[in-house]
Amino acid sequence: MQFYDKCCLSKGSTDEALKFKFIAITDKSLRNIVVANQKGMAKVANETLQGRIRRLRLFLLWLFDKFHEEQDVDNKTSKKFKKLISKIKLDEDALGKNGSQQVGDPEKSVIPDDVFVKLLEMVMPSSPNNPFKRSRVRNYLIVNLLIQGGIRRGALAKLKISDFLFYGTYDQLAIYRSGNDPTDPRAEKPDQKTKAHLATVNPDLLEKAKFYIDHIRAVFPRAQFHDFVFVSENDSKGTVGQPLSLKAINALFQKLSKALGFHLHPHVLRHKWNEIFDEKGELSGTSPDLLKDARRYAMGWSHNSKMDEIYNEKRLALKAREISRAHQLRVDQQK
């Protein structure tokens, strides 16, 4: 709470600066008004406070993950931590949308094109630039399923063999919520946060996934006791053949980030999917309303979700720039 109180104040404001120093004023009500006014003037905007609280929440998540990476957390500690994070998130959301006064560059990509091309080449199992000594096929599939499907890390980690639709168009993945899955032995069970939907990927990628399931995953005896697709291939912790943990996926991206010289994490690939989706939609001449509905379905967002506005605003900003440039060109030609 002390940290929270400090977050509410502008830079340079201290307890000493806010102390009432006008001893000559004896009227208590007047003195209280002056003190309240001093504190009110020192407070920052809700957007600033929300940003600071968000940073605290992210730091606590990082700290918890850092110290408990190699050991399971007991159920009581895990529940208490999740409850704390939930309370911070509720307060954070109540402060309103952060960044409402910020204007981003609509042409700036979450992953620059040169870095993205380098990533695609790097994760190829045969690439000389591949940073992984083992599990190259599995890691290739993980990265490309995130890129092509636009799915979340949790949805990827909980994918089962039966979720790969190896029939029909041969390009679909079933994404859905499963709650507390009793067949999942992981301490931190992944789940899908949004609505159930079908994610579309390249048939060639699905064919590679089938090869991995039939010829690589099948080698590990423990993998026969569960249906989760991606398994640990390293027995340093006695988990070989067990479903791949969320922390292991994070470690995979940390290694890729180091090799790329660019901070990469699973969720940024979801944002990249949306950028590519916009480009393809624009080229195909899809109407804005249809594009909006298609995005909501592909992302698993509800009809009332406002998440699509982030990407719609970016597309509108680019269109506004295009129209403005065309208008300016006509004006210049008439001079």
Out of 100-104, 182-186, 256-260, 329-333, give the one with best mean pLDDT.
Answer: 256-260
How much is the pLDDT for 71?
61
Q: Region 297-306: what's the mean pLDDT?
A: 80
> pLDDT digits over 184-201, tens only?
988 888 888 778 999 999
What DSSP state is assigned to residue 231?
B
Average pLDDT, the chain: 82
Confidence of residue 107 (pLDDT cuts 50, 70, 90): low
How much is the pLDDT for 98?
45
Residue 33 has pLDDT above 60, yes or no: no
Distances (CA, A) of 104 to 99, 108, 262: 10, 8, 20
43-68: b (≥16 Cβ within 10 Å) or e: ebeebbbbbbbbeebeeeeeebeeeb
315 or 228, which is more confident? 228
How much is the pLDDT for 18?
46
Beta strands in the chain (DSSP E): 164-165, 172-175, 197-200
Q: Which domains does the chain have, with CATH numbers?
A: 2-94 (no CATH), 113-268 (1.10.443.10)
The C-alpha atoms of residue 227 and residue 162 are separated, in whole angstroms, by: 8
How much is the pLDDT for 100?
44
Residue with tokens 């957007």: 47
Give the predicted TM-score (pTM) of the model: 0.66
Helix (H, G, I), strand (E, B) or coil at 132: coil
> pLDDT digits over 236-269, tens only?
778 899 999 999 999 999 999 999 999 898 989 9
